[in-house]
Amino acid sequence: MNRLLVLIALTGLIGCGQEPSIGNDVATDAAPARTFTWRMATTWPKNFPGLGVAPEVFAERVGRMSNGRLQIKVYGAGELVPPLEVFEAVSQGTAQMGHGAAYYWKGKVPIAQFFTAVPFGLTAQEMNGWLLHGGGMALWRELYARHNLVPIAGGNTGVQMAGWFNKPINSLADLKGMKMRIPGLGGEVFERAGGTAVNIPGGEIYTSLQTGVIDAAEWVGPYNDLAFGLHQVAKYYYYPGWQEPGPTLEVIVNQDAWNELPADLREIVEVASLAMNTDMLAEYTARNNAALTELVEVHGADVRRLPDDVIAELKRISLQATDELVDESDPLQKRIYDSYVTFRDNVIAYHEISERAYINTRDPARAAPK
Ligand code: CA
């Protein structure tokens, strides 16, 4: 009781702006807060709508939330390192942080693709469920620890488009011999369907389509595809985005740099990343429709649905390719696969009677009174 009275008395003194007679040692002994200046390498063109602006906003927020103790300078694709070398650069400490997508590193870590997008796999909402409340994040951390990295979910575009094609796709035969920019497992599936897949950075898609280096390309969806002007170099715009139903983007942090951060700054980085993860999906949800309208009505894009038999075959190949991705001799890969597949099967079962059932009621054709 006496201690409580002393505390109340002290609080009263401080509140009145008077120097307390004891307790000055607390202030004088506190070490000045250490400040950190980090580089963040990204895979996106500098300030590209959505993808490239998001890490800039993230860095500004971290600066404000930390009261300037953690300053992050963001580099666009190629400014610090080439876009597809971000993983290696952050792993080695050339940059303390990176922003990109795990499937860009499939040549180095094939199993990492589960943490971006699996064809015919989880949607954005479901990826967040798996990563943040379904055990996925712990597995991602365990996998990336092998590469001296700490991953954090850092963005999602929602369901993408199947991409831009320079000729109509009427059957599977039309895919054969076609060269397409399509990264990740989607690229593997496209190859098995008879095409050739290339993994080129976003900033090179327009020129590659224009010069005929590729015949087709998937990038993101209307908002981002319009920004690149892809409608100027290919006519046919196909959906649905079977290859990327809800790709998660990643913030990656060099493990040694992470270890140096005090706990409060780590928390700030994590929370700012998760804010970016949510905010990006909201941005795409808000922008895609208007961009699609402009693509069709102003620029004459020919929007088409992939034929049912093409989708069915791509799905058959996708499930096979997903199963074969796992190196069974590595127990961690098996655990990642089992976790993803179990979550997928369970969430699909419930979403049949929730998400899908509800969305079907909004379909004008289905909603019309009989
Ligand atoms: Ca894509």
Q: What pLDDT was estimated at residue 335?
A: 98
Q: How far is the CA of 295 from the centre of ligand 1 (A)?
A: 18
What is the Cα–Cα distance from 20 to 27, expressed in whole angstroms?
Answer: 12
Q: How far is the CA of 2 from the centre of ligand 1 (A)?
A: 65
Q: What is the 3-state secondary structure (H, E, C) of 99-128?
A: EECHHHHCCCCHHHHHHCCCCCCCCHHHHH
Q: Contacts from 5-11 at CB under 8 Å and sequence distance 24+?
A: none
What is the Cα–Cα distance from 304 to 321, expressed in whole angstroms?
Answer: 26
In the chain, what are the domain boundaries?
A: 36-159+246-285
Angle between helices 53-65 and 263-297 (to 10 degrees): 150
DSSP label of 231: G
pLDDT tens track, the chain, 370 positions? 455 444 444 444 444 444 444 444 444 556 778 999 999 999 999 999 999 999 999 999 999 999 999 999 999 999 999 999 999 999 999 999 999 999 999 999 999 999 999 999 999 999 999 999 999 999 999 999 999 999 999 999 999 999 999 999 999 999 999 999 999 999 999 999 999 999 999 999 999 999 999 999 999 999 999 999 999 999 999 999 999 999 999 999 999 999 999 999 999 999 999 999 999 999 999 999 999 999 999 999 999 999 999 999 999 999 999 999 999 999 999 999 999 999 999 999 999 999 999 998 987 665 554 4
Q: Which helix (H) or strand (E) holds 253?
A: strand 248-254
Q: How far is the CA of 244 from the centre of ligand 1 (A)?
A: 6
Number of helices followed by number of strands (H, E) in the chain: 15, 11
pTM of the model: 0.89
Torsion from C-alpha of 219, 180, 162, 211, nearest 10 degrees: 60
* Cis-peptide into 201, omega within 30 deg: no
Q: How far is the CA of 16 from the centre of ligand 1 (A)?
A: 59
Q: How far is the CA of 22 from the centre of ligand 1 (A)?
A: 62
Q: How far is the CA of 250 from the centre of ligand 1 (A)?
A: 14
Q: How far is the CA of 186 from the centre of ligand 1 (A)?
A: 9
Q: How far is the CA of 68 from the centre of ligand 1 (A)?
A: 35
**Superfamily covering domain 36-159+246-285:** Bacterial extracellular solute-binding protein, family 7 (3.40.190.170)
Q: How far is the CA of 350 from the centre of ligand 1 (A)?
A: 27
Q: What is the DSSP string of 74-98?
A: EE-TTTSS-GGGHHHHHHHTSSSEE
Q: What pLDDT was estimated at residue 242?
A: 98
Q: How far is the CA of 195 from the centre of ligand 1 (A)?
A: 17
Q: What pLDDT was estimated at residue 366?
A: 56
Q: How far is the CA of 240 from the centre of ligand 1 (A)?
A: 12
Q: How far is the CA of 58 from the centre of ligand 1 (A)?
A: 22
DSSP label of 31: P
Q: How far is the CA of 168 from the centre of ligand 1 (A)?
A: 20
**Which tokens go with 133?**
């409340």
Q: What pLDDT was estimated at residue 33?
A: 86
Strand partners, 152: 251
Q: What pLDDT was estimated at residue 363?
A: 72
